[in-house]
């Protein structure tokens, strides 16, 4: 795991970043720190959420530039309903504002919008805005912007267990054939490859009920930078650091195998 304070890009960093070659196909980001960003500036928390929303377009552009195939953003969790109603209401209006302002740019970038989570439980205006964005980008074949809305990993797994149980009871699934791939097919992310890299901003180092099944072998990267300040420079540093990771998936490297 890597923890990075905010820094200014040096010429050396720029040269290193320009040589990025081993880019994660699927990056998942826990966008954290909007409220603290606002407090630090004497602003209301809602201003932090607005700034965080505006930042998404730049990160999408950077991910697209480097050839990332899937970018999953943790936008609203099942636990976020516990926040003050005024804050929840504001957050759930942001998708409509984001799409109104930035959808043309996303279409130009060939981005396809997807979502994961208990979508049907979101307010009607949120559903309508996101469904419009999905429809207008469904023919795009570039970066998949996968937005986690009303998402909680434990709930996702629980719902999968319930459906698997129903299918076993109806004899449409043989329990003896149940394996990891079949379980994965019952999750929201059944059409996606698992994340290669998980990034969390704001200095926190926990997963917060995010993609617990899917990130079993993902690399983690943490930064003290609040999400509204998480810019291209910091994102590219995460990509650069990922290049040095040796992903063994529980096995050994080829060099180790040769030695033994």
Catalytic residue ranges: 32, 80
- Tokens, residue 185: 């097919």
Question: Would you call 26 exposed, middle or buried from its count of C-beta atoms within 10 A (0-12, 13-18, 19+)?
Answer: buried
Kindly give the pairing relationship between strand 3-4 and strand 26-30.
unpaired
How far the first Cα of the chain sits from its last, in Å, is 28
What is the SS3 string spanning 61-73?
Answer: HHHHHCCCCEEEE
Q: How many CB atoms lie within 10 A of CB 254?
A: 8
3-state secondary structure of 130: helix
Distance (Å, whole) CA 84 – CA 88: 6
Do 30 and 200 form a contact (C-beta atoms < 8 A)?
yes
Q: Under 8 Å CB-to-CB from 250, ≥6 apart: which residues?
A: 217
CA dist 251 → 29, 181, 217, 248, 259 (Å):
26, 19, 11, 5, 14
DSSP class per residue in 190-239: TTSPPPSEEEE-TT-----SSSTTTTTT-EEEEESS-GGG--HHHHHHHH
């Amino acid at each position: 795991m890597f923890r990075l304070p905010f820094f200014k890009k040096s010429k050396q960093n720029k040269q290193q970043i320009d040589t990025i070659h081993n880019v994660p196909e699927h990056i998942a980001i826990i966008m954290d720190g909007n409220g603290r960003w606002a407090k630090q500036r004497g602003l209301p928390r809602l201003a932090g959420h607005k700034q965080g929303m505006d930042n998404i377009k730049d990160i999408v552009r950077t991910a697209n530039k480097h050839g990332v195939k899937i970018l999953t953003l943790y936008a609203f969790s099942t636990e976020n309903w516990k926040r003050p109603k005024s804050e929840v209401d504001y957050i759930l209006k942001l998708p409509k504002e984001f799409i109104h302002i930035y959808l043309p740019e996303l279409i130009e970038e060939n981005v396809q919008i997807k979502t994961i989570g208990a979508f049907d439980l979101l307010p009607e205006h949120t559903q309508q805005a996101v469904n419009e964005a999905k429809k207008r980008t469904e023919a795009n074949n570039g970066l998949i912007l996968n937005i986690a809305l009303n998402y909680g990993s434990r709930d996702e797994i629980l719902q999968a267990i319930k459906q698997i149980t129903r299918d076993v009871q109806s004899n449409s699934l043989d329990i003896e054939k149940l394996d990891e791939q079949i379980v994965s097919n019952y999750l929201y992310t059944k059409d996606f490859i698992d994340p290669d890299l998980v990034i969390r901003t704001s200095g926190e180092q926990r997963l917060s009920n995010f993609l617990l099944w899917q990130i079993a072998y993902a690399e983690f990267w943490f930064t003290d930078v609040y999400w509204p300040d998480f810019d291209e420079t910091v994102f590219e540093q995460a990509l650069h650091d990922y290049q040095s990771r040796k992903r063994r998936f529980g096995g050994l490297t080829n060099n180790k195998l040769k030695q033994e």
